[in-house]
């Protein structure tokens, strides 16, 4: 009896000293334990305005930590006044952790970070770290001409690094919507010629809510899936036959300044309401392993179920749960996002 009590106390003390998750001003950390990801660190940056990356990325991070054992840090753009998560905010800190990151996952749009934080981001790219870019990450940066890292701007006109980070690293920058966003969803059809690519293992029935983007990725690249635009938001909605099948998922290698070729996975989908679709969610989780060079660990029956309640908000520029701080999402069982919060800014 005493032995059991002692073991219980030791276990409780271990949880206190080494909690499964933690949070600070800008980020939360989900600490994996046993699993294929043990010893590896994935950094997620959630700072887009509309598509609720602050919901998508913590959900993916929890799965990679709890189901696979990775250490996963999610960094948010926050409101400098009250520390709450603010979609699309350039108030981002703590990116020095990228120095030892094994993978970077992005949901960003039109960000203009402080130069010291941006330097950590650029250093990661320059050393050839692998990257996953979701949705608006193709136009992640909106940096003024007089700033040090203007070349990362999504329309940068220079010959070297033309059209910035999105075009040169992820393979495409912002072009235009392709179809009617919020009214047309997409079926993602695997590219027949590349159907044996590891990221497609076990993937089927992909249907996403975010509207299509025009994309003509920079060569060389490999198309993983194309988008069939539907005239409606349900998977059985009629096909919009006026639309060609744009690439919506592709992979490529980016030759970094270090000379190392980085594995890049890009999708023009990835909104909060896209990942409840199991096929698309599995594709993204497979992409994490592939980018890390762990394709041998991709199995058709790998677990992809959510960790904790996932309650995505309809993507919108103006409507999102207000008053949420990173710490509110730190526990594995804390809902993403908390219910009952105002979705619009309270009138003063």
Q: Does a structural domain hold residue 157?
A: yes
When the pLDDT of each residue in the chain is averaged and rounded to a whole number, the result is 94
Question: Three-state DSSP class for 228?
Answer: strand
Q: CA nearest 231: which of 190, 273, 187, 268?
A: 187
pLDDT of residue 10: 44
Q: What is the mean pLDDT of residues 205-227?
A: 98
Q: What is the three-class DSSP state of 183?
A: coil
pLDDT in tens, 237-287: 999 999 999 999 999 999 999 999 999 999 999 999 999 999 999 999 999
Of residues 315, 318, 323, the one with CA closest to residue 340: 323
Core vs surface per residue 23-36: b (16+ CB within 10 A) or e: beebbbbbbbeeeb
Asked whether the predicted pLDDT for residue 321 surpasses 70, the reply is yes
pLDDT band at 346 (very low <50, low <70, confident <90, very high): low
Residue 14 inside a domain? The answer is no
8 Å CB contact between 29 and 20: no
CB 141 within 8 A of CB 112: yes
Query: CA-CA distance, 279 to 99, in Å (whole number)?
Result: 32
Question: Can you give the CATH number for the domain in which 266 is found?
Answer: 3.40.50
Helix (H, G, I), strand (E, B) or coil at 130: coil
Q: Which domain holds residue 325?
A: 23-177+215-220+246-329
Quick check: is 286 in a domain?
A: yes
DSSP-based three-state secondary structure for 8: helix
Whether residue 42 is contained in a domain is answered as yes
d(CA 340, CA 295): 41
| E-strand stretches of the chain | 21-23, 27-31, 41-47, 71-76, 103-108, 131-134, 177-178, 186-190, 206-208, 212-213, 222-229, 246-255, 261-267
Is the confidence at residue 309, as pLDDT, over 60? yes
Is residue 179 within 8 A of residue 241, CB to CB? The reply is no
- Helix (H) or strand (E) holding 53, with range, is helix 53-66
Q: Is the pLDDT of residue 4 over 80?
A: no
Give per-residue pLDDT as tens, 17-71: 445 667 689 999 999 989 999 999 999 999 999 999 999 999 999 999 999 999 9
Burial of 165 (0-12, 13-18, 19+ CB in 10 A): buried
For residue 345, what pLDDT is reported? Answer: 77
Contacts of 135 (CB under 8 A, 6+ apart): 48, 51, 53, 107, 210, 267, 268, 269, 270, 271
- Note whether 89 and 78 are within 8 A (CB): yes
Q: Stretch 104-125: mean pLDDT, rounded?
A: 98
Q: For the chain, how many structural domains are there in total?
A: 1
Position 257 in a domain: yes
Q: How many CB atoms lie within 10 A of CB 167?
A: 21
Give the integer Cα–Cα distance in Å for 35 and 48. Answer: 31
């Amino acid at each position: 009896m005493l032995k059991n009590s002692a073991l219980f106390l030791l276990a409780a003390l271990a949880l206190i000293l080494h909690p499964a998750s933690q949070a600070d001003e800008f980020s939360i950390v989900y600490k994996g334990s046993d699993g294929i990801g043990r010893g590896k660190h994935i950094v997620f940056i959630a700072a887009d305005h509309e598509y609720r990356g602050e919901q998508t990325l913590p959900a993916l991070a929890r799965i990679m930590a709890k189901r696979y054992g990775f250490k996963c840090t999610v960094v948010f753009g926050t409101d400098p006044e009250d520390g709450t998560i603010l979609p699309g905010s350039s108030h981002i800190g703590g990116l020095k952790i990228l120095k030892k990151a094994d993978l970077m996952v992005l949901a960003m749009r039109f960000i203009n970070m402080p130069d010291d934080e941006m330097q950590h981001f650029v250093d990661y790219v320059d050393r050839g770290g692998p990257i996953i870019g979701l949705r608006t990450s193709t136009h992640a940066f909106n940096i003024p001409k007089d700033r040090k890292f203007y070349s990362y701007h999504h329309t940068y006109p220079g010959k070297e690094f033309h059209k910035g980070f999105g075009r040169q690293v992820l393979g495409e920058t912002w072009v235009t919507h392709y179809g009617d966003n919020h009214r047309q969803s997409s079926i993602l059809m695997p590219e027949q010629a590349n159907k044996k690519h590891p990221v497609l293992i076990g993937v089927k029935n992909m249907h996403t809510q975010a509207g299509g983007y025009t994309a003509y990725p920079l060569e060389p690249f490999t198309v993983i899936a194309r988008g069939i635009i539907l005239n409606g938001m349900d998977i059985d909605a009629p096909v919009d036959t006026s639309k060609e099948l744009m690439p919506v998922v592709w992979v490529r290698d980016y030759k970094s300044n270090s000379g190392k070729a980085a594995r890049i996975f890009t999708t023009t989908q990835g909104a909060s309401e896209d990942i409840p679709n199991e096929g698309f969610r599995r594709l993204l989780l497979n992409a994490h392993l592939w980018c890390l060079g762990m394709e041998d660990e991709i199995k058709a029956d790998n677990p992809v179920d959510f960790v904790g309640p996932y309650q995505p908000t309809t993507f919108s520029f103006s409507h999102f749960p207000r008053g949420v701080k990173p710490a509110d999402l730190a526990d594995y069982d804390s809902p993403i996002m908390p219910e009952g919060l105002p979705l619009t800014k309270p009138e003063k």
